[in-house]
Structure 1
Amino acid sequence: MTVKSRLLEILEKQKGETLSGEKLAEELHCTRAAIWKAVKSLREEGYKIEAGQNKGYMLAKANDRLSVEAIRPFLLSPEVYIGVYQEVDSTNRAAKAVAVNGEAGHGSFVLAGSQSAGRGRRGRSFYSPQDAGIYLSVILEPKGSIQESLLLTAEAAVAVYKAVKKVTGISLDIKWVNDLYHNSRKVCGILTEAVTDFESGNIEFAVVGIGLNLFEASDGYPDALQGIAGGIYESREAAAGLDRSRLAAEIVNTLLEETKELKLPDEYIQHNMVPGREICISDGNSICRAKALEICPDGRLKVQEEDGTVSILSYGEVSIIM
């Protein structure tokens, strides 16, 4: 670990506190000139580090730049691979790459400040503006078949629900199959991609991609998302006290706990906004109206169509009829 990385870790752990340059040099076994050089480099990368003559250095509490050093202290399994980018095309794509080449295993993850080609379900793009959300992909090695992968998405939704509730106090609504809502607006989408063994049908590894909107970016949402997308906070100012690194780490911690076994969490049913509602179902080829009856134990959705037919959905685009 370099002097810069070790210094950033210390500054992150004691964010808002002034630390003596002399003591930092002693702790890191380097010269004060090396500390100054590391501070200068971190400032050039965008870190808000204040300094005063004979006062030392302080990482401003308002600093919310994502880094490995900022996230690792909050993790329950800090030894995992962590990839942090200020921008990447897709965190799912980056996570799959390091999983395939053996660089990263279970519990490892990729996090980005923005995505240039974020991906949603059914080939859609996921709008990922700079520093307005958490764009995260976690590598998992669950014990189960591809048929059970739907449960991973349900467990991921519950993990986001619990983490957001714990860190912010905000309660979200879960929408079958892979979205979370706040104040009737979509604030989170989940994309689970599994790599399976062709012969056994078992999952070799899965990548769970989570895109969580914290607030609306300064240039707003694209026209196609107007009235649909939202954030868990009304504005950047309202989110000023949020530590993104802590929230991201809490999502990972909770996801690893939830996925120790493939099962449908009780919270997925308790906080689901779909059962009992009139819905519109689109499977890409047709659209029909139905009433959502219940979430089945395997995560599928039981519905009653207009002609009285009862069917069970494994996938499909569901919208609630207001």
Structure 2
Amino acid sequence: MHGADHHCCCGVAFLTIFVETVSETASTNADVKALSLRGSAPEGFWLRAAQQTGGVGRRGRKWESPQGNLYCSTVIDIRRADPAPSSLSFVAGLAVYEAIRSFLPQVPMLLKWPNDVLISDAKVCGILLERVKDQVVVGIGVNVAVAPQVASRSVASLAAEGAAIDAAGFLDTLSREFESCVSLWREAGLAHVLKKWQNLAHPVGTAVTTSDDGGEKITGEFAGLDADGALRLRKTDGTLIAIRAGDISIE
């Protein structure tokens, strides 16, 4: 385990960041959830596994875990004055985006609602939030070295785009970006985070498709975000609806 004090440019001291690395585990999120339940997962703690045998993505999907990619989880305390815990998905997405951008300054990148990061229109990371009492466990997987084959989905890796970084080195940058984004979320508020997110996402007017609870496809135009981060979709008949859960595809 190693730790380092990091400070942001505005002079606000961050918590000490501790990274613990294990060679293999079933799921870093499951491990950090267990630590959280015991009260032994402080903010600033990150668990990284060189390999995962039972990684899970959103909606219980299997998360492929080849050697060389980043599999990690951290934890955030839920404080009374904080924005809604679910909005940490935007914080995590922003942090991953900024970390990747520091290694790949020129490649086309896009944030996709609710928490995808795309490089050249291909998925490069997965983010999973799970609440444990008064904490949120944030799991992040990033294709650093390998882009695993995923049916019906374009997948990217940092290495294929030319980034010369390994998983441990990438996490060093990501953990600092994450602390910075959490600080912004707490101090400037969710509206500020959502504005920053929107500036890096698919533009208003982009054609998107999503599914309702019954699996019925809904197509329309992206019309920005609600104050709570819900996606506003303008249907072809002009009506505006808010999507609070689910996936979208960009047409």
User: Per the shorter chain, which TM-score range?
Assistant: 0.7 to 0.9
Aligned partners of 2:93 and 2:127 also within 8 Å: yes
The answer to which structure has the higher helix fraction is 1
Q: 2:77 aligns with which of 141, 146, 166?
A: 141
Which residue type is aligned with residue 234 of structure 1? A
Change (3 A) 1:144 1:210: farther
The residue aligned with 2:55 is 118
How many Å apart are 1:83 and its aligned residue? 2.8
Q: 2:207 aligns with which of 274, 278, 296?
A: 278
Q: 1:94 aligns with which of 31, 54, 76?
A: 31
Task: Work out the CA distance in 2 between the residues paired with 1:279 and 1:118.
Answer: 28
Give the structure-1-normalised TM-score: 0.66
The residue aligned with 1:253 is 176
Question: SS of the residue aligned with 2:159?
Answer: coil
How many Å apart are 1:115 and its aligned residue? 1.4
Aligned partners of 1:282 and 1:316 also within 8 Å: yes
Question: SS of the residue aligned with 1:125?
Answer: coil
Task: Work out the CA distance in 2 between the residues paired with 1:143 and 1:78.
Answer: 15
CA RMSD of aligned residues (A): 2.5
Which residue type is aligned with residue 25 of structure 2? V
The residue aligned with 1:26 is none
Alignment of 1:295-314 (within 5 A): 295-314=225-244
Question: SS of the residue aligned with 1:299?
Answer: coil
Change (3 A) 1:252 1:178: same
Which residue type is aligned with residue 98 of structure 1? L
The residue aligned with 2:224 is 294
The residue aligned with 1:21 is none
Change (3 A) 1:129 1:75: farther
Indicate whether 1:267 and 2:196 are aligned: yes
Give the structure-2-normalised TM-score: 0.84
How many Å apart are 1:149 and its aligned residue? 2.3
Residue segments in structure 2 that go unaligned for 5+ positions in a row: 8-13
Task: Work out the CA distance in 2 between the residues paired with 1:80 and 1:74.
Answer: 6
The residue aligned with 1:128 is 65
Q: 2:167 aligns with which of 241, 244, 247?
A: 244
Which digits, 9 at most, give the CA deviation of each residue in 1:79-110, with x for residues without a partner?
55533122211111111111111222112111
Computing the radius of gyration over CA atoms, which structure comes out larger, 1 or 2?
1
How many Å apart are 1:126 and its aligned residue? 1.3
Question: SS of the residue aligned with 1:127?
Answer: coil
Which residue type is aligned with residue 22 of structure 2? Y
How many Å apart are 1:193 and its aligned residue? 1.1
Alignment of 1:1-322 (within 5 A): 68-69=1-2, 72=3, 79=16, 81-131=18-68, 133-144=69-80, 148-169=84-105, 172-196=109-133, 204-216=134-146, 220-222=148-150, 224=151, 227-234=153-160, 238-239=162-163, 241-260=164-183, 261=186, 263-264=190-191, 265=193, 266-273=195-202, 275-286=204-215, 287-321=217-251
Question: SS of the residue aligned with 1:113?
Answer: strand
Change (3 A) 1:74 1:163: farther
Aligned partners of 2:144 and 2:166 also within 8 Å: no
The answer to which structure has the higher strand fraction is 2
Residue segments in structure 1 that go unaligned for 5+ positions in a row: 1-67, 197-203
Change (3 A) 1:312 1:147: farther
Identical-pair percentage: 26
Which residue type is aligned with residue 124 of structure 1? R
Which residue type is aligned with residue 66 of structure 2? P
Aligned pairs, how many?
237
Task: Work out the CA distance in 2 between the residues paired with 1:209 and 1:242.
Answer: 20
Which digits, 9 at most, give the CA deviation of each residue in 1:201-221, with x for residues without a partner?
xxx00011111112336xx52
Change (3 A) 1:144 1:271: farther
How many Å apart are 1:168 and its aligned residue? 4.2
How many Å apart are 1:74 and its aligned residue? 8.2
Aligned partners of 2:37 and 2:132 also within 8 Å: no
